[in-house]
């Protein structure tokens, strides 16, 4: 099966077993086709439909259209330790932006253990670690409903304000970075691609969020520089929202005025 639907217990053995039928049923449902759940079998018409939909989608290019850098599909090699099951496409309603707060470098394999769906490097490469239907631990209470993107680099919570820069104890000389144009453009292209993919499967991305909004330990995540260069322009371009004034979940922090001038009075 190369439709991207897993056959968890038996694999593609040529037999049209229960799991194969379940996978076909999920495929049809994801493509907006009403099917009879209880039939326990797939009709000729349904099979023909699967083949037609597959033919129409198989040629779609894989990954975002990156202005610079390469796209790497690491899904087969990425660690599954931070995956918490699968979800229906319709449960995906947002994208959460992160900064890695460290430097990984440009070797794609380094990202195999990163707990997020996607990563973008300083040179503008994009890495795809996990299917979007997988629930991955990356953003606390945003995990269940969002896709996570880690943007590489060490960025201050507020650009130019050293007091908002996180420095590990064993690295007192670490300096804040400025996002590269390549990183910014590839991150934007990656969000555009996610929105298209989710829509193609019958869902809709409505929110573009910051990890900060879901955690009391990630105040600077992804930081004002990335928020202003990646998130705010995309909110306008793709009709996305950060949840609105003072929006946060759990013990997170709202988007502050120092990230977004329209959030008058919201403290960092
Ligand atoms: Zn984060």
> Which parts of the chain register pLDDT below 50?
1, 8-14
Residue 154 resides in a domain = yes
For residue 215, the CA-to-ligand 1 centroid distance in Å is 9
| Residue whose tokens read 């959030």 | 263
Report the alpha-carbon distance of residue 239 to residue 94 in Å, rounded. 12
Determine phi and psi for 161, rounding to 5 degrees: -110, 100
Residue 95 resides in a domain = yes
For residue 153, count other CB atoms closer than 10 A to its CB. 24
Answer whether 208's CB lies under 8 Å from 95's CB: yes
For residue 150, the CA-to-ligand 1 centroid distance in Å is 7
Whole domain around residue 91: which residue ranges? 71-238
Residue 64 resides in a domain = no
- ipTM score: 0.99
Give the CA dihedral 243, 248, 250, 251, nearest 10 degrees.
160
Same domain (yes/no): 80, 41:
no
Same domain (yes/no): 174, 76:
yes
For residue 69, the CA-to-ligand 1 centroid distance in Å is 23
For residue 147, the CA-to-ligand 1 centroid distance in Å is 12
Residue 234 pLDDT? 98
Residue 66 resides in a domain = no
Residue 23 pLDDT? 66
How many structural domains is the chain composed of? 2
Residue 67 pLDDT? 87
Same domain (yes/no): 116, 165:
yes
For residue 101, the CA-to-ligand 1 centroid distance in Å is 9
For residue 88, the CA-to-ligand 1 centroid distance in Å is 23
Same domain (yes/no): 55, 76:
no
For residue 184, the CA-to-ligand 1 centroid distance in Å is 17
Residue 268 resides in a domain = no
pLDDT single digits (tens) 3-57:
555 554 444 444 555 566 666 667 667 666 666 655 556 677 777 776 766 666 5
Question: 184 is written with which tokens?
Answer: 């910014």
For residue 103, the CA-to-ligand 1 centroid distance in Å is 14
Residue 50 resides in a domain = yes
Same domain (yes/no): 34, 164:
no
For residue 176, the CA-to-ligand 1 centroid distance in Å is 16
Residue 45 pLDDT? 74
Residue 261 resides in a domain = no
For residue 211, the CA-to-ligand 1 centroid distance in Å is 5
For residue 218, the CA-to-ligand 1 centroid distance in Å is 6
Residue 13 pLDDT? 47
For residue 96, the CA-to-ligand 1 centroid distance in Å is 8
Same domain (yes/no): 193, 149:
yes
For residue 98, the CA-to-ligand 1 centroid distance in Å is 4
């Amino acid at each position: 099966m190369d439709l991207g639907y897993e056959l968890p217990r038996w694999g593609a053995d040529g037999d049209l077993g229960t799991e194969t039928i379940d996978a076909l049923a999920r495929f049809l449902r994801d493509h907006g086709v009403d099917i009879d759940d209880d039939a326990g079998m797939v009709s000729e018409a349904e099979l023909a439909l699967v083949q037609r939909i597959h033919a129409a989608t198989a040629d779609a290019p894989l990954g975002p259209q990156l202005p610079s850098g390469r796209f790497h599909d690491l899904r087969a090699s990425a660690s599954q330790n931070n995956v918490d099951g699968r979800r229906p496409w319709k449960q995906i309603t947002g994208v959460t932006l992160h900064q890695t707060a460290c430097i990984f470098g440009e070797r794609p394999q380094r990202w195999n253990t990163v707990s997020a769906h996607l990563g973008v490097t300083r040179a503008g490469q994009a890495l795809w670690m996990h299917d979007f239907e997988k629930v991955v631990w990356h953003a606390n209470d945003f995990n269940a409903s969002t896709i996570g993107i880690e943007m590489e680099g060490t960025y201050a919570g507020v650009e130019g304000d050293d007091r908002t820069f996180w420095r590990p104890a064993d690295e007192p000389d670490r300096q804040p970075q400025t996002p590269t144009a390549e990183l910014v453009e590839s991150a934007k292209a990656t969000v555009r691609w996610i929105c298209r993919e989710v829509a193609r499967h019958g869902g809709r991305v409505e929110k573009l969020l910051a990890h900060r909004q879901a955690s009391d330990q990630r105040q600077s995540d992804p930081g004002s520089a990335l928020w202003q260069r990646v998130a705010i322009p995309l909110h306008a371009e793709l009709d996305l929202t950060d949840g609105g004034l003072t929006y946060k979940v759990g013990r997170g922090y709202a988007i502050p005025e120092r990230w977004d001038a329209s959030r008058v009075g919201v403290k960092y």
